[in-house]
Structure 1
């Protein structure tokens, strides 16, 4: 069972759909043209969503790239996603990997996840599933739901790590728990489906242990 990740651009758009309507687009554009990286990134998201401006993936990529070149971590992840899927720019998985690397170097959670996906499938980089799991784990520690899902699947399938159904259950259960408030129904279905399939192959004792590990991880990561 292989899970396709959602890119950071998609995730970000979920939260900024009404961004441009809440801001003066002309003021935002003025700041972007003056070199404000945050404004450039926000303008890119507005163009991607068609919020306050006509939807234009070419313009989205243009402004996202400008912000990324200034070292904006979220924008670096964003332009990586656009190169990965050919949104507004020619598809170039090697370029996607390079931008994800830059974003991950700044400890941006979704960049770890997206870069891990490329290593998992050998897209734009040499396939290295052990490296993929390392990156997924870093993303999961930063709260990436996609990373939690992919870590769980990796442990379940023994892809890059030894098969460990209990550890797989832990991460899938965490993904299920944290995705409850997400509006991404496709993610919820994938998590629920994976967890249901895994449970069929586990003993009651294994499930109890998986739930316990999940609770312990959640308790250790709650804000103090």
Structure 2
């Protein structure tokens, strides 16, 4: 952010977990937001996710490539309108590989092809409990991109939902990658900070674009 007294720097949060502040510039943020708004429209658009216990997630979600629902993948929006999931764009898959190279200092191997995107929309009251991204068969790094309001992102350990964990503030344009020893670490969003996103972006709330390699065939 312009005017920072101490510019934020790339930080290794845990082995294989890297925060890269301000990775997406203003133009890329606007382009990605416009794409998200298109993907959110029906069919297979933005929906409320219901858990097996009968509860609902406060963050709403739309999927690309494969449709995630608790706790599996499908080719149709099985817990939505039942229509085929929208395809994963090639440019977004390429962005995932570019993100890994930025975080780790080297590009991923040719076998790493990002084929799933989960896009979560958070309003000011939304949260995400501690969980692991464990439905994929691939161990490729997870790529997380933030747009809009700042959130508190809680990154934990691989053994439990409790401590130790570290809270990181993710702003609009920030990149967070976790793989290697941290690929199955628990993580969540305990808080969104309303009104903190860049006004010029024109987004009320927070969007999180999570890119994954399914390895599911």
TM bucket, shorter chain: under 0.3
Larger radius of gyration between Structure 1 and Structure 2: 1
Higher strand share: 2
Higher helix share: 1
Report the TM-score when normalising by structure 1.
0.25
Report the TM-score when normalising by structure 2.
0.25
Higher relative contact order (CA 8 A, sep 6+): 2
